[in-house]
Amino acid sequence: MFCTPGILKSDNGPPFNGEEFEKFASILGLRHRKVTPLWPRANGEVERFVKTFEKSIKASKTEEKNWRKEMQIFLQNYRTTPHATTSVSPATLFLKRIIRNKLPQINDIDPVSEIVRKYD
């Protein structure tokens, strides 16, 4: 669950350019992929999330709400909402359990056992 990833994507920042990091990556057996810094189009998924996130922050400021509190609510809802591709929330896939939130549930079926079997 909390193991070493197979691929690590990072910018070309100094922490990831040294010989020491190369040795570290080779020992762990991970591939290091460099993406262009400050260019979100290098990862379309990130670009789409940032647009949604910025829209949420702007809406909270327009409604004169505390944007930091609204940001936490947004992130919780985002992480617990089922993804269109997997039909499972990111938090459920990551933690292998359902995270409670205030969003209505479609059914009371516990999909965690099915998820664990499917993605393990």
pTM of the predicted model as reported, rounded to 2 decimal places: 0.55
Contact 57, 33 (CB under 8 A): no
Q: What is the pLDDT of residues 84-112, one digit of tens each?
A: 888 888 888 888 887 777 666 655 555 55
Residue position matching structure tokens 């010989």: 19
Name the residue with higher pLDDT: 90 or 120: 90
The rounded percent of the chain whose pLDDT value lies above 70 is: 77
For residue 32, pLDDT beyond 80: yes
Name the residue with higher pLDDT: 24 or 113: 24
DSSP state of 86: T
Domain extent at residue 18? 7-38
Same domain, 106 and 57: yes
CA gap 49, 62 in Å, rounded: 20
SS3 string, 10-40, reads ECCCHHHCCHHHHHHHHHHCCEEEECCCCCH
Same domain, 18 and 68: no
Residue position matching structure tokens 């829209």: 55
Same domain, 101 and 46: yes
